[in-house]
Amino acid sequence: LQQRRGFRLSAPAAIQVTVRDALNQALDEELERDERVFLLGEEVAQYDGAYKISRGLWKKYGDKRVIDTPISEMGFTGIAVGAAMVWLRPVCEFMTFNFSMQAIDQVINSAAKTCYMSAGSIAVPIVFRGPNGASAGVAAQHSQCFAAWYGHCPGLKVVSPWSSEDAKGLLKASIRDDNPVVMLENELLYGVPFEMSEQAQSKDFIVPIGKAKVERPGTHITLVSHSRPVGHCLEAAAVLAKEGVECEVINLRTIRPMDVETVEASVVKTNHLVTVEGGWPQFGVGAEICARIMEGSAFNYLDAPAVRVTGADVPMPYAKILEDNCIPQVKDIIFAVKKTLNI
């Protein structure tokens, strides 16, 4: 009506928000929304979090809602799982997911399996979150991607955000979910700013768990990725577009349950598939995507074998030049695309 009367409506106000601040907003909004939500982990309270994700929350909500724990993942994860069993909603932070192996019995045998083993009478609404995968210069024991590990386990939901909207929306959805959710973030993305839409700035904004997003439409080949490599895929797509190759880039966002339908629809359109991930190749996320396409109707539309771009099949080296060669780079994606398209 205003447009008909000659008024010009302004476009929705989008702002730049880092992934760190998006996660902080999500935690703040959910702590405020539901008094059952609380945060615990190493240095999350008085120090504001090892990566400043929980900045300001201890001062705002106090000791009962934001809890510093000893350096004992098995202990504080067990406390969090027990609290979830009596319908509190803990957010359990691992300083990195490499340390979650200290508590993997609690995550899998206690959190993931309890709802099934109790015939649905005991839910475990808990979020396990923290940085996952390779960072920079932290060597083999701090550089693993656990997407395939946790994505393998029934009873868990596993999400892996890329952008600030992903991070905020998926964390809010995970906290509100009645199932245990593993949220695999990326340390190297924490300080990266992304555009956040007016809708995403709302306290009611969530990203549905189990729904992928087409970040860039294309017609010649499908690139499927999650977390930081989504950005590499978009960079590769921009380079290839100058050579006349239009890549469709899919941001999985959720590892389990996996949105195979979106991938299948894209493959039917493009007839080619490349998967990209930072984890190891054997039994990886890309291997699962390829198997699903192989077993489904979209296989009949493939004009070439699917190709995986993964991390190298070695423990992560410490030296930077070796580290760079162990992690998928933009040039590796471009090479895989050209190999698949035979150009």
pLDDT of residue 4: 44
**Mean per-residue pLDDT for 124-152?**
95
pLDDT in tens, 166-211: 999 999 999 999 999 999 999 999 999 999 999 999 999 999 999 9
Q: Does the pLDDT value for residue 12 go beyond 80?
A: no
pLDDT of residue 2: 46
- Alpha helices for 134-228 (secondary structure H): 147-151, 164-176
Tell me which of 29, 30, 42, 73 is the catalytic residue.
Answer: 73
* Of the listed ranges 49-58, 131-140, 165-174, 277-286, the one predicted with least confidence: 131-140
Stated pTM of the model: 0.94
CA 9 from chain centre, in angstroms, equals: 35
**Mean per-residue pLDDT for 313-317?**
95
Q: Does the pLDDT value for residue 10 go beyond 60?
A: no
Distinct helix (H) and strand (E) counts, the chain = 12, 14
- Alpha helices for the chain (secondary structure H): 19-33, 57-61, 73-85, 104, 113-117, 147-151, 164-176, 229-241, 260-270, 285-295, 320-326, 330-341
Instruction: Report all structural domains of the chain as residue ranges with CATH numbers, in order of start.
Output: 17-201 (3.40.50.970), 213-341 (3.40.50.920)
Q: Look up 142 and say whether it is catalytic.
A: yes
**Mean per-residue pLDDT for 19-31?**
98
Mean pLDDT of the chain: 95
pLDDT in tens, 220-231: 999 999 999 999
Tell me which of 29, 42, 142, 187 is the catalytic residue.
Answer: 142
Would you say 185 and 162 are in contact if contact means Cβ atoms under 8 Å apart?
A: no
pLDDT in tens, 242-254: 999 999 999 999 9
Q: Does the pLDDT value for residue 297 go beyond 70?
A: yes
